[in-house]
Amino acid sequence: MSTEKFIKNNTALVTLIAASLVVFISLSVRQVFGMFFMDFNIDLGITNTEFGLAIGIQMLGWGLSGPIFGAIADKYGGHKAISLAFIFYILGVYFLYAGPNTGLYFQISLGVLIGIGCGGTAISIPMSMVGKHFPLSNRTIAMSIVTAVGSFGYFLSPLYTNYSLENNGWVQTLFIFMVFLCIGFVVAFFVRSPNLNQTIENTNNQSTLEALKEAFQNKSYLLLTSGFFVCGFHITLVGTHVPKYVIDRGLEDWTAAMILSLIGFFNIIGSLTSGYLSAKKSKKIILSGIYLLRGVSICLFIFTPPSTISSIIFGASFGILWLSTVPATSGIVAHIFGTKYLGLLYGLVFLSHQIGSFFGAYLGGLFYDLYGSYDYAWYLAIALSIFAGLIHLPIKEQSIERTQKA
């Protein structure tokens, strides 16, 4: 595929680059909050349950605001939705940095404000805007590029955060995060929807309510939405609680940063591979395989003796499977319904993902405080892997010709 055929116009190119940078910045900050727990615990008196609850609220805020930002982006443009979301994101980090940042205020800052900020900046909205510029033949490849660049942030951010926490402290580290988020706010203005002359979509005269009704009457959409719940549970359980889990198992605290960085690095490979394969093969089979392999990766991690080698294997294997679900999932939504309401419809699928994220964050902390270990959380994650692996198989990857241009 030539570059000329892949990039249809300058707006598509600028949007692809800007959306990738937005996701890079947003996910880089979001990924590493688990590494702040020890500092929050010592300096702010935050318990494991309180921290897990805040991350859970953040996931719910992310998910609940996603469809709203998606509707704004579909109607008024991605740049307006993403810029608005960055304002919430910056305010959340600012209040964590400057206070008030304990008790209820901790939940509002880390939970509500940052969650709303992620709803418009992390993955779903930027990627949906990119999807509007690319036809079915290479849409998942374009989306996977956005995910892969975000994954590079996953790789760099834990390394930097570990260094900064040791040398600068958590307050200064949060200040630096604010600077990057402000840069993201500026970049967001370049994430544009295609105009009438650039659109790849056939005419779709549906109203928003008609699009929603059509989606929720579609069995495949409901199955896809249910399966994405599991993705959220997995990645938030790992991202939030693995830092403490590896320390409890007797490993050095730098092991957590290594695992998160490996996840980020190998997620680049996994995301690009998933995007390429999703353009060539059955997306539902790819998703089923990803979820089943996640269960295998978790089993190897928790049932083998703790060591640096087992941590490396887990970080690499789970990294390949980390966000590789995203191009295939969003690709199925765009394939079935077209791209006019992609921001809204994928945002609702992502809401299910974030409900799963809430339970992954909160139940991980709750189980630990109740039973003194994360074992039950891991067992639940394995059971959900099997559930997700099976539930994707009945999905029908058939486009609605009225809304989908071949």
Element containing residue 79 per DSSP (H, E): helix 78-98
What is the rounded average pLDDT of the residues 188-213?
A: 74
Is residue 354 within 8 Å of residue 64, measured between CB atoms? Answer: yes
* pLDDT value for 334: 84
What tokens does 154 get? Answer: 């996953």
Q: Which of 31-40, 135-144, 219-228, 273-282 has the lowest mean pLDDT?
A: 135-144
* pLDDT value for 134: 83
Place of tokens 């339970």: 359
Peptide bond into 100 cis (omega under 30): yes
What is the rounded average pLDDT of the residues 272-295?
A: 91
Going from N- to C-terminal start, the domains of the chain cover 15-194+208-391
Cα–Cα distance measured from residue 297 to residue 117, given in angstroms and rounded to the nearest whole number: 31
Is residue 117 within 8 Å of residue 78, measured between CB atoms? Answer: no
Peptide bond into 126 cis (omega under 30): no
**H runs (alpha helix) in 217-324:** 219-248, 254-280, 283-303, 308-321
Is residue 262 within 8 Å of residue 319, measured between CB atoms? Answer: yes
Closest CA to 233 of 20, 382, 79: 382
3-state secondary structure 108-140: HHHHHHHHHHHHHHCCHHHHHHHHCCCCCCCHH
3-state secondary structure of 404: coil
Residue 94's Cα: distance from chain center in Å?
22
Crossing angle of the two packed helices 124-131 and 10-31, in degrees rounded to 10: 160
What tokens does 194 get? Answer: 């295609």
pLDDT band at 3, cuts 50/70/90?
A: very low
Tens digits of residue pLDDT in 143-165: 888 888 887 887 788 889 989 99
Q: Would you say residue 231 has pLDDT above 50?
A: yes
Q: Does domain 15-194+208-391 have CATH number 1.20.1250.20?
A: yes
* pLDDT value for 75: 84
Cα–Cα distance measured from residue 292 to residue 275, given in angstroms and rounded to the nearest whole number: 18
Cα–Cα distance measured from residue 314 to residue 316, given in angstroms and rounded to the nearest whole number: 5
What is the rounded average pLDDT of the residues 387-403?
A: 84
Residue 116's Cα: distance from chain center in Å?
13
Kindly give, in sequence order, each residue whose CB lies less than 8 Å from that of residue 301, ignoring residues fewer than 6 positions away. 310, 311, 313, 314, 318
Cα–Cα distance measured from residue 367 to residue 375, given in angstroms and rounded to the nearest whole number: 8
Q: Which of 174-183, 262-271, 290-299 has the lowest mean pLDDT?
A: 262-271
* pLDDT value for 401: 67
Amino acid at 46: I
Residue 21 vs residue 9, higher pLDDT: 21
pLDDT band at 196, cuts 50/70/90?
A: low
* pLDDT value for 366: 86
* pLDDT value for 404: 43
Q: Would you say residue 392 has pLDDT above 90?
A: yes
* pLDDT value for 187: 96
* pLDDT value for 200: 54
Tens digits of residue pLDDT in 120-132: 998 888 988 888 8
What tokens does 347 get? Answer: 């945002």
Is residue 59 within 8 Å of residue 354, measured between CB atoms? Answer: yes
Length of the chain: 406
